[in-house]
């Protein structure tokens, strides 16, 4: 449920002349630039993406303009106001029940015909409205010219040309909003005329609605239209009333008279009305962007080349992530190395103190290990932002649509999955765009198989540790593909078994291609990276300290420590040994002591309980404990490995980076299995929590947790055992 406006939040515009308070709702088709304009006028930084379904819940912000304070609501993008999908219902509810003072309909001016369809429906709700003709740069480049005076007159409302992503038209829009007050309400422009037969029925129904005095806060004509269309929401509200009967009869009459159902007839008339208006007021000269887009699409989504191009682009993205991310990664690594040596130098050599270990092993080893991968994260999200903003991601969903159809779902499910490349939490929330509850559940359950950003540090640690550099890009690509393949497989499996059901028809929308703007791409990248930094400074820091403590405590007993001491003295005083050999032996003893401390620690004990379970996957107790830590946040895997391998290790200029230590301790096969397990296994806590909230049931959340962990175990064990047979 959207949080609808409460009575007391609403306009107080008439009472006080010095400050006005207005509630403004932003409506518009997906991709018309709604979020861009929302951000522009409220100064917020909401996610902007060039594919449908990004905004699923309305988002609020405040905008001050002169003496007016506006509460701005960004509604989910919709093409219409039917009751078929969650977004449309949310949008509609806010419009009807929230009673905004002004609606701003953001229209993609380069695609006027389709965009006006929504505008017409809002006009029928008799809400005061301003049209923002966004993307007027694109419209101009297509050679479209608008007779704005005529359009304003015909539609009876103000129209403001805008270029949202450049900030053009902001003040014009805001002053148009303040001028369009409630009083100006009933527009003088004309609404579609539905033709003699339909109008006759509408007039009758409207009269009946007025007499019934039901749903009085909605315009009677609008109710009549919705009744005739068989709108499920209004029908439900008026079920068992005389009105429902009347509407049924009217619909039947029209159907036999005109040979089609009223819903389709009304839609036709609306488009007819729009076409008429546009023919009068829009002049088109040259080549359209649509046509350019269509020409690109003939190749990019073609049956033969579509998939190879998708795979190729993904490959390129991952290759780039490593090649560009490599050098800055080494700089950060060197910086942390220097920091460790400097901090370590504050204590005299040979002295062990808890604080020193906490700083060096717990914090620098743990959090530093994670921060090293910031450049990779940055470049991956840069690439994804470009793909999204250009409109390519929508094509990817379109391509997957074909595949998804084969397994009984539609490509709309793939949009949340694409968002899942960033983070599963918003991805699971994005499943709200799916109409069927069963499809929603299926999608929610498999979304975590899409490799999220938090897993990247794990891959970025493991891949260079075990594979030669020409394999870096390809390995990452393979891991991501395994995730997609498993997600599709699991969706198919769930759809065949527990969650069988019909999938409503759906036409995938392909927005036109667009050159991404620097600002939007950078915002996107910044949002991601700052989230990563924040996580490193909070959750990961906290858990690293906890894990570090678990590895210190309870420590060796006095007798054990004594034994190691005796061994040391024995060697130190043995004059038959030559000096270098003696040093070597002493180092071995230090190492053995650290190992013994770790194994008897709390963490070591947890690890040894887990070891037999995870052994078939090729994991020792160190990896096993890191896997447990990864449940809190995936990056913790990296920090935990960093802690384990920096404990009992002298910090000096020769300390090797973590990946070299891993290389010395594990095989390639084990490295691959680590990635596989991290990819598939239990998503992080936040994901489980959001699955619980969105599915409204612990059962599905726990099923996701247990199912994915089990799947991870089975797949990893199979791969490890098979791999061992071969090598």
Minimum Å gap between C-beta 140 and ligand GDP is 10
Smaller CB separation from ligand GDP, 153 or 527: 527
Contacts of 450 (CB under 8 A, 6+ apart): 417, 418, 420, 421, 424, 427, 483, 484, 487
- Dihedral over Cα of 447, 452, 455, 460: its sign: positive
What the block records as the tokens of 365 is: 């080893």
Residue 520 near which of ligand GDP, Mg ion, none (CB within 5-8 Å, type-dependent): ligand GDP
Distance (Å, rounded) from C-alpha 315 to C-alpha 518?
A: 23
Distance (Å, rounded) from C-alpha 145 to C-alpha 139?
A: 8
Q: Which residues pair with 129 in a beta bridge?
A: 103
What the block records as the tokens of 124 is: 């029928």
Where does this chain touch Mg ion (CB under 5 A) — which range of 55-63, 168-176, 476-484, 659-667?
A: 55-63
What the block records as the tokens of 260 is: 């089609």
Minimum Å gap between C-beta 514 and ligand GDP is 6
Minimum Å gap between C-beta 426 and Mg ion is 12
Minimum Å gap between C-beta 90 and Mg ion is 13
Residue 420 near which of ligand GDP, Mg ion, none (CB within 5-8 Å, type-dependent): none
Smaller CB separation from ligand GDP, 33 or 618: 33
Burial of 653 per CB tally in 10 Å (0-12, 13-18, 19+): exposed
Residue 138 near which of Mg ion, ligand GDP, none (CB within 5-8 Å, type-dependent): ligand GDP
| Binding interface with ligand GDP (CB under 6 A) | 28, 30-36, 48-50, 54-55, 77, 134-135, 137-138, 163-165, 389, 514, 517, 520
Q: Tell me, letter by letter, the H, E, C secondary structure of 209-270.
A: HHHHCCCCCCCHHHHHHHHHHCCHHHHHHCCCCHHHHHHHHHHHHHHHHHCCCHHHHHHHHH
Smaller CB separation from ligand GDP, 52 or 629: 52
Instruction: Round the CA-based radius of gyration of the chain to a whole number and report it.
Output: 31
Q: Of the candidates 550, 596, 373, 558, which has an alpha carbon nearest to the alpha carbon of residue 476?
A: 373
Residue 321 near which of Mg ion, ligand GDP, none (CB within 5-8 Å, type-dependent): none
136 within 8 A of 111, measured Cβ to Cβ:
no
Minimum Å gap between C-beta 340 and ligand GDP is 42
255 within 8 A of 228, measured Cβ to Cβ:
no
Smaller CB separation from ligand GDP, 49 or 365: 49
Residue 563 near which of ligand GDP, Mg ion, none (CB within 5-8 Å, type-dependent): none
Minimum Å gap between C-beta 30 and Mg ion is 7
Residue 486 near which of ligand GDP, Mg ion, none (CB within 5-8 Å, type-dependent): none
Minimum Å gap between C-beta 282 and ligand GDP is 17
Smaller CB separation from Mg ion, 90 or 458: 90
154 within 8 A of 125, measured Cβ to Cβ:
no
508 within 8 A of 398, measured Cβ to Cβ:
yes
69 within 8 A of 24, measured Cβ to Cβ:
no
Residue 266 near which of ligand GDP, Mg ion, none (CB within 5-8 Å, type-dependent): none
Distance (Å, rounded) from C-alpha 17 to C-alpha 21?
A: 10
**Number of chain positions touching Mg ion (CB under 5 A):** 3
Residue 163 near which of Mg ion, ligand GDP, none (CB within 5-8 Å, type-dependent): ligand GDP
What the block records as the tokens of 498 is: 């527990």
Smaller CB separation from ligand GDP, 58 or 361: 58
Contacts of 360 (CB under 8 A, 6+ apart): 340, 343, 344, 646, 651
Considering only residues 13, 29, 32, 35, which one is a binding residue for Mg ion as defined by CB under 5 A? 35
Residue 389 near which of ligand GDP, Mg ion, none (CB within 5-8 Å, type-dependent): ligand GDP
Minimum Å gap between C-beta 106 and ligand GDP is 6
Distance (Å, rounded) from C-alpha 362 to C-alpha 548?
A: 5
Using Cβ positions, the residue closest to Mg ion within the complex turns out to be 35
Minimum Å gap between C-beta 657 and ligand GDP is 38
Distance (Å, rounded) from C-alpha 450 to C-alpha 448?
A: 5
Residue 36 near which of ligand GDP, Mg ion, none (CB within 5-8 Å, type-dependent): ligand GDP
- Dihedral over Cα of 396, 398, 403, 408: its sign: positive
Kind and range of the H or E run holding 175: helix 170-179
| Token pair 């965009």 in the structure block, residue | 115
Distance (Å, rounded) from C-alpha 506 to C-alpha 508?
A: 6
Residue 520 engages Mg ion in binding (rule: CB under 5 A): no
Where does this chain touch Mg ion (CB under 5 A) — which range of 34-42, 221-229, 630-638, 675-683?
A: 34-42
Residue 535 near which of ligand GDP, Mg ion, none (CB within 5-8 Å, type-dependent): none
Considering only residues 55, 293, 520, 552, which one is a binding residue for Mg ion as defined by CB under 5 A? 55
Smaller CB separation from ligand GDP, 161 or 657: 161
Minimum Å gap between C-beta 168 and ligand GDP is 8
Smaller CB separation from ligand GDP, 311 or 515: 515
Residue 165 near which of Mg ion, ligand GDP, none (CB within 5-8 Å, type-dependent): ligand GDP
Interface residues toward Mg ion, by CB under 5 A: 35, 54-55
């Amino acid at each position: 449920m959207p949080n609808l406006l409460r009575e007391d939040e609403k306009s107080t515009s008439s009472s006080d002349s010095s400050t006005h308070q207005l509630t403004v709702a932003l409506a518009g088709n997906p991709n018309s630039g709604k979020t861009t304009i929302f951000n522009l006028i409220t100064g917020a930084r909401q996610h902007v993406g060039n594919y449908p379904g990004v905004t699923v819940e309305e988002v609020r912000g405040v905008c001050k303009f002169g003496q007016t304070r506006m509460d701005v609501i960004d509604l989910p993008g919709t093409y219409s106001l039917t009751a078929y999908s969650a977004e449309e219902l949310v949008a509609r509810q806010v419009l009807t029940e929230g009673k905004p003072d002004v609606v701003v309909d953001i229209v993609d001016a380069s695609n006027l015909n389709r965009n006006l369809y929504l505008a017409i429906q809002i006009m029928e709700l008799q809400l005061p409205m301003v049209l923002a003709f966004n993307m007027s740069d694109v419209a101009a480049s297509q050679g479209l010219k608008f007779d704005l005076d005529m359009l304003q007159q015909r539609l009876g409302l103000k129209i403001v040309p805008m270029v949202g992503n450049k900030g053009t038209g902001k003040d014009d829009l805001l002053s148009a909003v303040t001028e369009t007050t409630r009083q100006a309400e009933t527009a003088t422009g004309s609404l579609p005329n539905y033709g003699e037969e339909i109008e006759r029925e509408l007039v009758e129904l409207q009269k009946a609605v007025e007499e019934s005095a039901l749903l009085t806060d909605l315009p009677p004509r609008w109710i009549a239209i919705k009744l005739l269309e068989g709108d499920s929401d209004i029908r439900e509200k008026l079920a068992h009333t005389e009105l429902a009967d009347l509407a049924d009869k009217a619909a039947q009459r029209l159907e036999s008279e005109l040979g089609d159902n009223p819903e389709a007839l009304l839609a036709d008339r609306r488009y007819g009305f729009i076409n008429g208006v546009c023919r009068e007021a829009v002049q088109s000269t040259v080549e359209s962007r649509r046509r350019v887009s269509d020409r690109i699409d003939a190749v990019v989504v073609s049956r033969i080349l579509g998939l190879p191009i998708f795979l190729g682009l993904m490959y390129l993205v991952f290759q780039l992530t490593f090649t560009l991310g490599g050098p800055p990664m080494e700089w950060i690594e060197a910086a942390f190395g220097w920091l460790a040596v400097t901090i370590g130098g504050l204590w005299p050599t040979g002295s062990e103190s808890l604080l020193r270990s906490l700083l060096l092993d717990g914090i620098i080893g743990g959090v530093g290990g994670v921060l090293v991968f910031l450049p990779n994260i940055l470049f991956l999200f840069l690439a994804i932002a470009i793909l999204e903003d250009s409109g390519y991601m929508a094509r990817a969903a379109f391509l997957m649509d074909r595949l998804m159809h084969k397994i009984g779902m539609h490509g709309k499910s793939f949009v949340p999955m694409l968002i899942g490349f960033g983070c599963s939490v918003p991805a699971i929330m994005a499943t709200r765009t799916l109409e069927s509850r069963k499809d929603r559940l299926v999608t929610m359950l498999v979304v975590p198989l899409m490799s999220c950003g938090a897993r990247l540090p794990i891959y970025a640690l493991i891949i260079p540790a075990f594979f030669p550099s020409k394999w870096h890009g390809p390995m990452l690509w393979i891991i991501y593909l395994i995730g997609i393949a498993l997600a599709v497989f699991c969706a198919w499996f769930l759809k065949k078994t527990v969650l069988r059901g019909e999938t409503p028809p759906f036409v995938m929308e392909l927005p036109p291609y667009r050159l991404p703007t620097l600002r939007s791409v950078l915002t996107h990248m910044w949002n991601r990276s700052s989230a990563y930094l924040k996580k490193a400074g909070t959750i990961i820091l906290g858990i690293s300290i906890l894990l570090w403590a678990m590895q210190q405590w309870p420590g060796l007993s006095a007798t054990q420590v004594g034994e190691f001491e005796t061994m040391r003295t024995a060697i130190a005083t043995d004059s038959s040994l030559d000096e270098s050999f003696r040093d070597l032996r002493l180092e071995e003893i230090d190492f053995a002591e650290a190992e013994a401390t770790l194994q008897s620690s709390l963490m070591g004990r947890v690890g040894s309980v887990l070891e037999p379970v995870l052994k078939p996957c090729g994991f020792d107790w160190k990896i096993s404990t890191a896997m447990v830590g990864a449940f809190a946040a995936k990056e913790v895997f990296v920090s935990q490995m960093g802690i384990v391998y920096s404990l009992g290790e002298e910090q000096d200029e020769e300390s090797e980076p973590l990946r070299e230590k891993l290389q010395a301790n594990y095989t390639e096969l084990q490295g691959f299995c680590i990635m596989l397990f991290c990819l598939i296994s239990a998503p992080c806590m936040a994901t489980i929590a959001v699955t619980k909230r969105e599915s409204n049931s612990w059962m599905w959340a726990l099923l996701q947790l247990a199912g994915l962990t089990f799947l991870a175990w089975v797949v990893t064990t199979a791969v490890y055992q098979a791999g061992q047979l071969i090598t």
